[in-house]
Chain A
Amino acid sequence: MENQQDKNIEAFLVANQRYLFKFVVNLVLITCIGVFMYGLFGDSMSDMFDQPEVVSEEVQKKNRQKRKATAAAIAADDMDRVENGIHVQTGFVYAEGFDVVRGTCTACHSAKLVTQNRATREGWKDMIRWMQKTQGLWELGKNEPIILDYLAKNYAPDEVVRRPGLDIAAIEWYILDLSDESIAAKE
């Protein structure tokens, strides 16, 4: 009996601890984001608010250094985040060759210009040649096969017919209320 009570208390404490832990983690996270943003924009933030300077120059300098270190750590963490095999920041498939592809392709354009396209290895090679000829892309050297392997594997063409039927799975069905006046033709 007493044992059971102990267990209950223990469970209660554990739950509370978990709650406290979550709270602290959130607090730290929110603070970090704030510090990060302040680190980015803080230097000139006072201009926006027209607030008088009350902190000494030296303390400010120290704080700024501290902030910058924290911000850099968070930024590095975010830049490396991978979810469901997708590199979160760029949207690229996280697979062999990713680093080279990110470094090369996003130097000029959005990763989205890659990820929305599909082609065979030859097709991707043609695109690279076109970019080299007309868009200022440099010679890729030993990186070229790495990039081509990555693209041909992860962004290959789909097997589709001449014109696919409507994508039923993608349709968001809704009740169309035809008595609604808002459906009247716009001028």
Chain B
Amino acid sequence: MSDKSKKIGIHELYAQGKEKAEKKLWGASANRRGFLKRTAVLAMGTALGAPIVFGKTYPSGLIPAGLAHSKVPFALPGKHPGLTILNDRPINAETPPDLLDDKITPSDKLFVRNNGIPPVDVDVNKWTLTIEGEGARQTKTYTLAELKSKFQQHTYQLTLECGGNGRSEFNPPAKGNQWSLGAVGCPTWTGVRLKDVLEDVGIKSNATYIGYYGKDTHISGKPDKVVISRGVPMDKALEEESLIAWAMNGQDIPALNGHPLRLVFGGWPASCSGKWLHKIVIRDKVHDGPKMTGQSYRVPCKPVAPGTKVANEDMCIIESMPVKSLITFPKTGGTIKQTQNLPIRGHAWAGGPAIKEVSFSIDFGATWQKCELEAPANRLAWQHFNAKVSFPETGYYEVWVKATDSNDVSQPMLLPGWNPRGYLNNACHRIAVKVQ
């Protein structure tokens, strides 16, 4: 396999050695202000052979220079050490499928897709959210405490998937982080409905779209450059499950995932769900912030041959994500005895519709058998499937899984339509199994 798709751990990013990183944790995790906990800082200090003096304010996601060439395993603050780091500036990390086995994705196993540098020194007592724009009846600012006390709180389990999840398989290759399978997760989110807040401000009849602004900073170092400012049409913004959230799985959202406040739009490209949220604009037209326009998070409005150059005006904004599934047990490469039935399980989701069926094939798609499928915890939550697989004889097998949504749309076995930026790859997940 090419280097492009070779998975490596973070210390290798710096060491750039060929050895596969041994996955171990420092015990590193970020506290709610986004800094490494003291224990993690001390662990790093031990590895460095000297304490990290500014440990109290050591920002999340920075790797000490002294570790740059070491073989010591390293994990992103607040994140599981098994995550695959694609990029360290800005930080982008995905979760291998077998680590996504939990029904509700633990906070340390949710992928990280950052476009800029997260804010440090977040003060929750001073954090505010301002709503304004052509479609707003007034400009209104809320403190975090006001949001929590003024509006009814809601908790939903919502699937977030990066629009570029699966990009690494496209050919000709598409630029950007080369996500394979794991830029997806489904934790629970607690916050207030965006709808309730927008209605409190007052929505004019010309309201078309909302756009967000966050407190992350641009990697070029330019202080006033907006990193990313995307959003959703009013219909999506006003859905019951569209949240302004401060908690993931009942605790502060991890610093790398947007603490102290973010939007969550389940089922749509995760880039719609702005992190470190401090401003929402209600627009009278489609929002035109950075990464809303041009080719970003857009696909050709009409199908094109692989490699085609597509003009900006022929590119359309991605809305809901396509039907997809992931086998989270077993990990690819399992060897079993022929006398055993192999239990398989995983999750299936679609950007709006529910999943009505999940099937598996052990003969490269020639025949399919149904899996057991659970109902979702709520709309836009992924659904769990499982099956027992028996193999007719010994040998090499691949288990393929295919989900079908309530509109009878299924996953393709090959790659779906090529697009210049490599979005929306929902080709079926495949694992290898040897039967002896």
Contact = CB atoms under 8 A, between A and B. Distances in A.
A136 B218 contact: yes
A166 B53 contact: no
Contact of B53 (A41, A134, A172): A41
Nearest to B50: A37
Interface of A: 30, 33-34, 36-38, 40-45, 47-49, 78, 81, 83-84, 86-91, 108-110, 112-113, 115-120, 123, 126-127, 130, 134-137, 157-158, 160-164, 166-176, 178, 183, 185-187
Contact of A116 (B16, B86, B169, B172): B86
A157 B1 contact: no
B335 A162 contact: no
Contact of B90 (A109, A119, A178): A109
Contacts of B13: 91, 110, 112
30 contacts: A33-B49, A34-B50, A37-B49, A44-B54, A45-B51, A45-B53, A83-B16, A86-B16, A88-B15, A110-B88, A110-B90, A115-B3, A117-B173, A118-B4, A119-B175, A134-B290, A135-B218, A135-B219, A136-B220, A157-B172, A157-B173, A158-B171, A163-B169, A163-B413, A163-B415, A168-B432, A176-B336, A176-B342, A185-B101, A185-B384
B395 interface: no
A89 B171 CA distance: 29
Contacts of A158: 2, 4, 171, 173
Given A120-B172, A172-B333, A185-B386, 11 more contacts: A33-B49, A47-B53, A84-B18, A109-B90, A116-B86, A116-B177, A118-B173, A119-B173, A157-B171, A161-B171, A166-B430
Question: When A and B form their complex, which 7 residue pairs have the shortest distance between CB atoms, in order from nearest?
Answer: A176-B334, A37-B50, A136-B220, A110-B89, A167-B1, A91-B16, A44-B53
Contacts of A162: 171, 306, 414-415
A135 B221 CA distance: 10
Interface residues of B, number: 73
Interface in B167-226: 169, 171-173, 175-178, 218-222, 225
Contacts of B16: 83, 86-91
Given A40-B65, A113-B87, A134 B330 contact: no
Interface string B79-91: 0000001111110
B50 A41 contact: yes
A183 B175 contact: no
B88 A45 contact: no
Given A112-B13, A116-B178, A118-B173, A183 B329 contact: yes
Interface string B127-155: 00000000000000000000000000000
Contacts of A88: 15-17, 69
A113 B177 contact: yes
Contact of B335 (A83, A166, A174): A174
Nearest to B42: A48
Interface in B1-22: 1-6, 13-18
Given A45-B53, A162-B414, A183-B343, A109 B219 contact: yes
A68 B66 CA distance: 14
B335 A117 contact: no
